[in-house]
Structure 1
Amino acid sequence: MKTLLKNVRVETSYLTENDFTYGTATKNIAVAFENGIITAVFTSDQVDTKTDYTIIDGQNALILPQLREMHVHFDKSKLGIPWTPIEPVKNRVERFTKEIAYLKNAPVSFSQRMENLIHLELSYGVTHFRSHIDAHPAVGQSYLEAAQAVLANYQDQLDYELVAFPQHGLLLSHAYNEMKLALQNGANIVGGVDPISIDNNLEKSLNQTFDLATQFDVPIDYHLHERGDDARKAFAKILALTEETNWQKRVTISHAYGLRDLNKSEQAELFSRLAANQITIISSIPLDFVIPPLTKLKQAGVKTQIGCDNIYDCWSPFGNGDVMNKLNRYAEMFDLTSQKELTESLELVTDQKLIAPNGWLKSGMPANFTLVNATSTAEFVARKLPVSASYFKGNKVK
């Protein structure tokens, strides 16, 4: 079906007076799409000639890119289960163990809990998910298979990446074979977690992680909570292996708390190497001092992204599934108050630059976009305005 979304605005430039940027200029456009792909972008004076389209009136909304949830756990959510507080534990290994037992006996099925999480995030406008899925001997392939069965029902509403994740440690839980099976069975990213504090063998743990990635020709998303010297060693090894395997642009480090422990000269050197190797840092924007220096990373040319991570699970009672709430928190924590800073911050949840003379939309792109009733992206981010509508491959999702 040929569809024309008319009467929407796209930002084209910043408005500046006496070196003060006070807003953005927009132009009214119409977006044509068919079979899930944008086929043309028209100016408002061209719209009346398009009579063979199904017309949707955008009601003067601002059109923005697809919102992306870059760190979530489909297999861990407790959404739909009556309130239970978080049990105290002595360490993360005990948390792992308790979590397996809890989820195995949860009063709400895996599928229903995962659907609750998906529906929650769809309601906030997200249409892309990167989810970590546990794969280790204690759960085998069961979580992956269950997640894939649920996702089969959402093909016209979202796209996704599935990370094979050795939550209990690749070495500690002897997860290598289950990780390999998960990659054979449809997971398309290799995960990992703490080669020193969990696996207690930096070299072997990271070597096996990169071995899986190169075997299956897939990216890596590594959860790194290491601190101090352990963080220094882990980053050095990850960089060395990235360069050795030519895995540039295919490595992500989530959390990266240890970046806070480096002095200024160490940060400058490491950030430069991260940028040169096009390694991405993803943060869930924790409300404490361990949050990595995201604005410094971005200034150094390191790609940064945001995800929700915990959304009421065995690890945290918090999390509302609204990635834009995380972005607003990021902007406030790092004092991003200018029009330009707030506008550019949206890249952390869209992976798309916005300001261009003819707008960010181009023919040939997937018809994935977000509509908001805001004067500008900056207002949308700062004021936590709701998403009015979201489209995925031309289908209205919200």
Structure 2
Amino acid sequence: MTTHFPAPRIVRNVRLGTSADAEATAVDLHLDDGVITGIHPAARASDGAPGSAEDTVDGRCLLALPGLVNTHAHVDKSWWGLPWQSYGGEGGTEGRIRHERARRDELGIPSLGITQRVLAELVRHGTTAIRTHVDVDPGLGLRGMEVVREAVADYGDALTVEVVAFPQDGVLRRPGVLELLADAARAGAHLGGLDPATIDRDPVGQIDAVLALAAEHGVGVDIHLHDPAELGAFQIELIVDRAEALGLVGRVSIAHGFAVSQLDPARRRDLLAQMGELGVTMTTVAPLRLPQLPLAELDAAGVRLGFGTGGIRDLWSPYGTGDLLGIAWQYARASGIVRDDDLRRVVDLATGAATPFAGLPEGRLVVGARADIVLLDAENAMDALVRTLPRDAVIAGGRLLVG
């Protein structure tokens, strides 16, 4: 539990990364019970600054950002800490699913120890809130969810983790999956789906079934959608229609959604407008080989975007470090983002603007906000992004987890 993580009462002498001024005045952040209770000009040691070494973090005039938010993780299915696992199996989503199913028992996945290591890497890189997809299928039942919740319990209420029950191997084509999703929803998980047209070959059936369960149990929906162009857009329209019919406004998210960036501009504008009206959100892992989701157009339509690491060193790919800021850098670089306002917006999406994906209000370094704080040796937020600097300290829910 969090009892082994100290709870500082003052984070002294930091510069707030929300300021556009590289020479922002240093401040002291006062914390109590996991909340920022005061922000004051930094007290000088010669002024007899209050606070003992035990309850004070010396910020050394570092830059302070809100905690990073990983909106799309898979913390249950890594091989982190095991000997190197060579990539195998066939290409494509189906081939990777089969390869993962063939080898996961051999590697002991899901594993409490591995999941703990993955969480530790995310936290080390400044993540304080996570939405993670956890595999649910007849071979696993809800065991993955149990492992994740046990690993998260190590952090008590410091680390915020929202779980999505993820039917990686299909919803309709595997008997018993809908019943497992209902059990997961009763246990408080949101519900996932995967490529309704190409995995289940029944887009209407999968979307209707998953969204109806979510409406029945009062949880959200987060569907992986890799299908391209018009096939993907068709499924997004089905999702939007069912969300409206079932009253799931503001409770549906689409992961990846490659189709959005592959449509012609007029078609994309209309689709994003529909999504914005229903509060449908999107998450991306910023894949390098595909066009990136268009941030300015998403913002104009009111479609919230979040960044995620996806799988980290798993049977789908050996890549991944757990650095969410690195994903934001990848997105910005691949999108050709260079202007200060746009770079700051990317940092915003990697931090406080994404906290609703983890069930929290938007995170800001202001009085009354949750004390999720990351310190870096950067000039400003833009500098922190383009250099993906080491995290000097990580505070989550008022607890010093790193530093």
TM-score after normalising by structure 2:
0.89
Closer, same or farther in 2 for the Cα pair 1:241/1:109, shift >3 Å? closer
- What is residue 32 of structure 2 aligned with on the other side? 34
- Confirm or deny that 1:9 pairs with 2:11: no
Partner Cα distance (1:256, 1:109) in 2: 27
Deviation at residue 131 of structure 1 after TM alignment: 0.9
Q: What SS does the corresponding residue of 1:118 show, helix, strand or coil?
A: helix
Give the Cα–Cα distance (whole angstroms) in 1 for the partners of residues 352 and 238 of structure 2.
Answer: 27
Secondary structure, counterpart of 2:382 in structure 1: helix
Q: Decide whether the 8 Å contact of 1:12 with 1:24 is kept in 2.
A: no
Q: Which one-letter code corresponds to 1:9 in the other structure?
A: R
Identify the residue that residue 374 of structure 1 maps to in structure 2: 378
Cα distance 1:352–1:95, how it changes in 2: closer, same or farther (>3 A)? closer
**Does the aligned pair in 2 maintain the 1:134–1:143 contact within 8 Å?**
yes
CA contact (8 A) 1:9 1:28 kept: yes
Matched, 1:343 2:344: yes
The code of the aligned residue for 2:399 comes to: N
Contact 1:170 1:192 in 2 (8 A): yes
* Alignment pair present for 1:363 and 2:361: no
Residue 176 of structure 1 corresponds to which residue in structure 2? 178
Q: Which residue of 2 aligns with 1:20?
A: none
What residue is the counterpart of 1:17 in the other structure?
Answer: none
1:146-168: CA deviations, max 9, x gaps? 22222222225411011011111
The CA RMSD over aligned residues, in Å, is 2.3
Q: In the alignment, is residue 352 of structure 1 matched against residue 353 of structure 2?
A: yes
The alignment partner of 1:241 has SS state of: helix
Structure with greater strand share of residues: 1
Distance 1:109 1:144, change over 3 A: closer
SS at match of 2:26: strand
Change (3 A) 1:152 1:267: same
Point out where structure 2 has 5 or more consecutive residues left out of the alignment: 1-6, 355-362
**Residue 364 to residue 290, structure 1, CA distance change in 2 (3 Å):** same
When structure 1 is superposed on structure 2, of 87-96 and 299-308 the one drifting more is 87-96
Q: Distance in 2 between matches of 1:344 and 1:238?
A: 28
Q: 1:26 to 1:152 in 2, by over 3 A?
A: same
Conservation of the 8 A alpha-carbon contact between 1:254 and 1:282 = yes
Shift of the 351–3 alpha-carbon distance from structure 1 to 2, 3 Å rule, reads closer
C-alpha contact 1:311 1:317 (8 A) present in aligned 2:
yes
Deviation of 1:125 after TM superposition, in Å, equals 1.2
Aligned partner of residue 289 in structure 2, secondary structure: coil
Offset from partner CA, 1:160-189 (integer Å, 9 cap, x none): 0110111111112231001111122242x1
Q: Distance in 2 between matches of 1:231 and 1:389?
A: 41
Letter in 2 for 1:388: D
Identify which range, 93-102 or 31-40, moves more after superposition: 93-102
Match status 1:79 vs 2:80: yes
Q: Deviations for 1:89-145, whole angstroms, at most 9, x for unmatched residues?
A: 265334323312311111687112111211211221112121111112121111111
Q: AA paired with 2:369? A: M
Which is further off, 118-127 or 106-115? 106-115
Between 1:171-180 and 1:154-163, the stretch displaced more is: 154-163
| Other structure's SS at 1:203 match | helix
Q: Structure 1: how far apart are the matches of 2:124 and 2:41?
A: 30
Three-state SS of the structure 2 residue aligned to 1:127 is: strand
> What residue identity is the alignment partner of 2:42?
S
> How far apart are the structure 2 equivalents of 1:106 and 1:2?
39
Q: Aligned partners of 1:363, 1:156: CA distance in 2, in Å?
A: 20
Residue deviations 1:245-283 (CA, integer Å, cap 9, x gap) = 232221110010111331111011111222222211100
TM-score by length of 1: 0.90
Q: Which runs of 5+ in 1 are unaligned?
A: 15-22, 354-358
- TM alignment of 1:244-393, pairs within 5 A: 244-352=245-353, 360-393=364-397
8 Å contact 1:258–1:292 — kept in the other structure?
no
Q: Among the aligned pairs, what percent are the same residue?
A: 27
1:219-258 alignment runs, 5 A limit: 219-258=220-259
Residue matched to 2:106: 105
